[in-house]
Amino acid sequence: MEPLTRIQREARPESMLINMGPSHPAMHGTLRIMLELDAEKILNAECEIGYLHRGFEKTCENKTYFNLLIYTDRLNYVSPLINNLGYVMTVEKMMGVTAPERAQLIRVLMSELSRVSDHLTCLAAMAMENGAFTVFLYMMKAREFIWDVIEFTTGARMTTSYIRIGGVRADLHPDWRGSLATAVRETRKVLKDVSGLLDKNSIFLGRTRGVGVMSKEDALSYGWTGPCLRSTGIPYDVRKAHPYLVYDRLQFEVPVGECGDNYDRYSVRMREMEQSLRLLEQVAALIPDAAPLGGGPAIEPAEALARSRLQRADERVRLSPNLEGSEKERLPGLTAPDPLVGVPAKEDTYTTMEGLISHFLFFMSGKGIRPPKGDVYFSVEGGNGEVGFYIVSDGTDKPYRLHLRAPCFHIVSALEQLIKGRFVADVIPTFGSMNMIGGELDR
């Protein structure tokens, strides 16, 4: 027999206790809300989280800095590239490494694509839970176009592990401009359609206007960041407050809401997507086209190996298709020159002794990326707010402690307060507009 929870202890004998989730379509699978009801009215509520606790932080303590990148993908799985970025830049801050200009621009491009995909997914789910299934289908369609751009370059749809310590893994896909233009155009169209469907829709307004109102003071006291904080009227955005990458050179606005209700959270996200699309266009104009690879036709690695027995081969070596974009010639623009930060060029690993040795030195346990002793905190603006990493290093190749400051942890902790005194039906839009992501909330 488990001990009683607070709500069970405090419940009035005449009221009804009801359980929502964790396996509930609107609870995204990983949140349980216990409600004390008087008919439809919520007298008291208690949230229980941890249903997706996957031991992220403990696992990271047992992985090398290079290897744990894949776990960061799966934190906020709707915008994995921003998590990559946050982690990678934290390590870079410790090691004093800066990514080359081209890599920085690509990182901004990828972050903004992820942000759009994050907001699209959040609003799609929120709209669907409120009964607007069309919006869900439209937004998912737009997300597919965004993911196409990501997939062409990174090779994966969601869990990309593309942004690496020191830079990025590979150059952009040769045809990235075309796919990006399509994605931006289609997303604009969808945003317009969705605005038309929801902005003045009286059912949607009825369920969101004046529901789940958060005051500025409470939002700060709960540690809210991101679109949810901005919906209360506080224009805090990490991209503006502590600019990283090239954000200080780009033009964008930080949309804010008025009263911090569900509708404001929806509209801030909608307007933010427009800003992100604007950013995407600016960045695309800033990224120069990649120069074509020189050095004649490429030869197979086996042949290069045979030739290198006689003399060092100068020809370009053909890489396997999944390494496309990370040819040796391209690497200087993509990763920092520090050999202890970036993976050594594959061509060298295939054909030369030194290359093979440096490959081993990078991946061997106890070697590779080893930030100096100390602790560091760094944050980037994620889809939900400030994604911060706190890393304690003891000078070895594994972090002594890695902690994620998850934005939606703070946001969801306010849910109890927001739904108290409201009706059961208000739980759904309020929760939907918060964009709870289990991987990030429970880690």
Partner 1 sequence: MGQEILIEAIRAKLGPAVEGIADSYGDLVLILRPEAVRSALAALREMPFDYAVLLDLTCVDFAAGQGRLELVYHLYSLSRNVRLRLKASLPAADPAVETLVGLWKNAEWLEREVFDMFGVRFEGHPYLRRLLTYEGFEGHPLRKTYPWRLGQPRLPLKDDV
Partner 2 sequence: MSGLSFLTTRLETALGWGRKFSLFHYPFITACCGMEYMSAACAHFDIDRFGAGLTRFSPRQADLLLVVGTVPHKLGPVLRTVYDQMLEPKWVIAFGACAVSGGIYQNYAVVQGIDRIVPVDIYIPGCPPRPEMVLDGLLKLQDKIQHQKQDWRWARKS
Residue 405 interacting entry, from partner 2, ligand SF4, partner 1, none, C-beta within 5 to 8 Å by type? partner 1
The runs of H, that is alpha helices, within 18-100 are 56-61, 69-73, 80-95
Minimum distance between the CB of residue 67 and partner 2, rounded to whole angstroms? 10
- Told to check if 58 binds partner 2 by CB under 8 A, we report yes
Distance of CA 115 to the CA centre of its chain: 7
Six token digits for residue 432: 């939907």
Smallest distance, Å, CB 125 to ligand SF4?
17
Query: What's the number of CA atoms in the CB half-sphere (13 Å) around residue 42?
Result: 25
* SS3 at position 29: coil
Alpha-carbon gap, residue 391 to 401, rounded angstroms: 6
Shortest CB 155 distance to partner 2, Å: 12
The Cα–Cα gap between 170 and 155 comes to 10
Site string for partner 2, 144-173 (x = CB under 8 A): x--x---------xxx--------------
Backbone angles phi, psi at 357, to 5 degrees: -65, -45
Binding mask 41-80 for ligand SF4 (x = CB under 6 A): ---------------------------------x------
Nearer to partner 1, 172 or 238 (CB): 238
Nearest CB to partner 1, comparing residues 32 and 177: 32
We find the least distance from the C-beta atom of residue 20 to partner 2, in angstroms, to be 12
* Contact residue for partner 2 among 41, 46, 77, 209 (CB under 8 A): 77
Q: Which residues, 65 to 94, sit near partner 1 by CB under 8 A? A: 93-94
Within 8 A by CB and 6+ apart from 288, the residues are 102
Q: Which stretch binds partner 1 (CB under 8 A): 160-168, 342-350, 408-416, 418-426?
A: 408-416
Please, which of residues 175-234 interact with partner 1 by CB under 8 A?
218, 220-223, 234
Contact 254, 237 (CB under 8 A): yes
> How many residues belong to the site for partner 1 (CB under 8 A)?
43
The two tokens of residue 173 are 């896909």
Phi-psi region of 436 (alpha: psi -120 to 50; beta: other; left: phi over 0): beta
Binder of partner 1 out of 66, 252, 363, 390 (CB under 8 A):
390
**Per-residue burial over 257-289, b = 16 or more CB atoms within 10 Å of its CB, e = otherwise:** beebbbbbbbbbbbbbbbbbbbbbebbbebbee
Which of ligand SF4, partner 1, partner 2, none is residue 422 near (CB under 5 to 8 Å by kind)?
A: none
Cα dihedral 143, 148, 151, 157 sign: positive
**Residue window 5-44: x/- pattern of binding to partner 2, with contact defined by CB under 8 A:** -----------------xxxx--xxx--------------
Contact (Cβ atoms closer than 8 angstroms) between residue 67 and residue 397? no
Residue 53 or 93: the one with the smaller Cβ distance to ligand SF4 is: 53
DSSP state of 174: T
Residue 278, contacted partner among partner 2, partner 1, ligand SF4, none, CB below 5-8 A by kind: none
Give the whole-angstrom CA distance, residue 39 versus residue 50.
29
Contacting residue, 43, 66, 74, 233, with partner 2 by CB under 8 A? 74
- Measured from the CB atom, the residue of 132 and 414 that comes closer to partner 1 is 414
Of the residues 74, 401, 420, 422, which one makes contact with partner 1 according to CB under 8 A: 401
Cα dist from 103 to 80, 148, 245, 286, 331, whole Å:
17, 20, 9, 12, 10
Residue 292's CB is within 10 A of a number of other CB atoms, namely: 7
Q: Which does 28 bind (CB under 5 to 8 A by kind): partner 1, partner 2, ligand SF4, none?
A: partner 2
26's tokens: 């609107």
The contact mask relative to partner 1 for 238-257 (x = CB under 8 A, - = no) is ---xx---------------
Cα dist from 235 to 8, 112, 231, 340, 404, whole Å = 39, 18, 9, 39, 23
Q: Half-sphere exposure (CA, 13 Å, Cβ side) for 116?
A: 33
Of residues 360 and 400, the one with the C-beta less far from partner 1? 400
Residues 91-130 that bind partner 1 (CB under 8 A): 93-94
d(CA 148, CA 51) in angstroms, rounded, equals: 31
- Out of 59, 98, 134, 308, name the contact with partner 1 by CB under 8 A: 59
Q: Which residues of the chain form contacts with partner 2 (CB under 8 A)?
A: 22-25, 28-30, 50-55, 58-59, 70-71, 74, 77-78, 121, 124, 136-137, 140-141, 143-144, 147, 157-159, 438-439
Q: Which residues of the chain form contacts with ligand SF4 (CB under 6 A)?
A: 74, 159
